[in-house]
Amino acid sequence: MELVEILEKYIGEIKPLDEKAMEGAWDYWDSRCKPLRGMGKLEEMVVQLAGIYGTVHPGELKPVVVIMGADNGVVAEGVSQTGSEVTAQVLENMGERISSVCIMARTQGIEVIPVNIGMLVDGMHPRIWNRVVRYGTGNIAEGPAMSREEAIRAIVTGIEVVKELYGQGYRMVITGEMGIGNTTPSSAMASVLLSREVEEMTGRGAGLSSEGLQRKIRVIKRAIEVNGPDKGDVLDVLCKVGSLDIAGMMGCYIGAALCKVPALIDGFISSVAAYCAAALAPACKAYMVATHCSAEPAGRLMLEALGMEAPIWAGMHLGEGTGAVTAYGLYQYAFALYNGLPGWNDGKVEAYEHLK
C-alpha cells in the first residue's frame, strides 16, 4: 500500500465523539452541589473526555509526553542563537530525564518519550526512539524542506508512534517538539496558512536580538518567495517551508483521534501542527485540547484559527511540551471535583436551575 493510501486509511477510520456520553457528563456536572457551569473550562475538559472515551465517568488518564525532535537546514541562515548540535544534546538530556519538560512531568508521574524523527544524527540514549524520516530538512531559504513523500512519511510515523504507545496502555498524548531553528519554519507555515504578514507571525524564538529577528523575517520571506507554497494544500506548505517535527506532531494528533484518546496542544509550533492536522483530517480536531497560549506573537492567532481558547496564559514559550504538561494539572482538579462533589441533597443545598 502506498504511503498516501495508508494515511488516507488512518484518517478515514477516525470516529466522532460520543455525544450521548457528553450530554450525560453535562447532566452529572449539573447534579453536583455547586453553581451551574461554575468551573468553566474544567467542566468542559471533563465533558470532552467523556465524549472521547465514550463514558460519563472516564477512568485513569495515563498520559504520555511525546517529543518530536528534528533539525532544520535553515539554521545555516543564522536564524537561531545556537547551532543544530543542541537539538541532539537536548534529546539526550530528555533521555536522561533532566530537561525542563522531564522535570515538570516527573512531578505528575508522566513519562516522556523523545522521538528522533529527523535530527542530523541518530539519538544515542536508549530511551530515544529513533524514527528518522531524513537527517534534517533542506534549507528553506534555498529550496523545499523535504519531498511530499517525506512529509507524508513523517505524518504516518507520528500516527504509528501514538498507536504503539496506545498499545502500551497510554490514554492521553501530550505533544511537544525540540529542534533548533524550528520557529522559523513554523512562522513561515503560519504566515502562509493564515495569509498574515511575516512580521506579524515571527518572534524571537529562543532569544534572538532585534537584529537577529529582522534577519529571521528576511529569511522567512525569502523562503516563501523561493518555494511558492500553496496555502490551499497543507502538505504543499509542509514540505516546502515546514519541518519534520511539525509533520510528526500532525501525525500525533491524527493518531490520537484514531486511537480515541485526547491530544494536548502545547505552544505555537504545536498549534501550527494541530491546525495542519485539522485541515488534513477535520475529524481529529474534536480530540484536541488547547492548553496554554504561547508568548510567541502568533500563538494567539493560531489558537483563534483553530477556534480554541487556552485556559492558561503564563507568558511561556519554551516548547518541549512544557505548557501542555502544566495544563495537565487542571485535569486533576477537574476530576477531583467531578468525582468528589456531593449531589444537591447530600450537600443540603437547593438545586440550581438553568435560567433563560
More confident residue, 185 or 207: 185
More confident residue, 247 or 201: 247
pLDDT of 155 > 80? The answer is yes
- What is the structure's pLDDT at 297? 82
Phi, psi of 267 (to 5 degrees): -105, -145
- What is the structure's pLDDT at 214? 84
CA 106 and chain centroid, separation: 20
- What is the structure's pLDDT at 210? 74
pLDDT of 133 > 70? The answer is yes
d(CA 135, CA 114): 16
Region 182-209: what's the mean pLDDT? 88
Region 182-186: what's the mean pLDDT? 95
* Terminal Cα distance for the chain, rounded: 55
Region 137-142: what's the mean pLDDT? 98
Look at the chain and count its residues: 356
pLDDT of 212 > 80? The answer is no
Region 251-256: what's the mean pLDDT? 98
Region 89-98: what's the mean pLDDT? 97
Q: How confident is the model over 275-313, as pLDDT tens digits?
A: 999 999 999 999 999 999 998 888 999 999 999 999 999
> Of 327, 334, 298, 322, whose CA–CA distance to 310 is shortest?
327
Q: How confident is the model over 34-64, as pLDDT tens digits?
A: 999 999 999 999 999 999 999 999 988 999 9
User: What average pLDDT is seen over the chain?
Assistant: 95
> Is residue 279 within 8 Å of 190, Cβ to Cβ?
no
Region 76-102: what's the mean pLDDT? 95
Whether 320 sits among the annotated catalytic residues: the reply is yes
Query: Where is 113: in which H helix or E strand?
Result: strand 111-118
Active-site residue (options: 2, 111, 320, 350): 320
> Is residue 54 within 8 Å of 48, Cβ to Cβ?
no
pLDDT of 325 > 70? The answer is yes
pLDDT of 209 > 90? The answer is no
What are 194's three cell numbers?
A: 493564515
pTM: 0.96
Region 130-156: what's the mean pLDDT? 98
Query: Where is 115: in which H helix or E strand?
Result: strand 111-118
Percent share of the chain, pLDDT over 90: 87
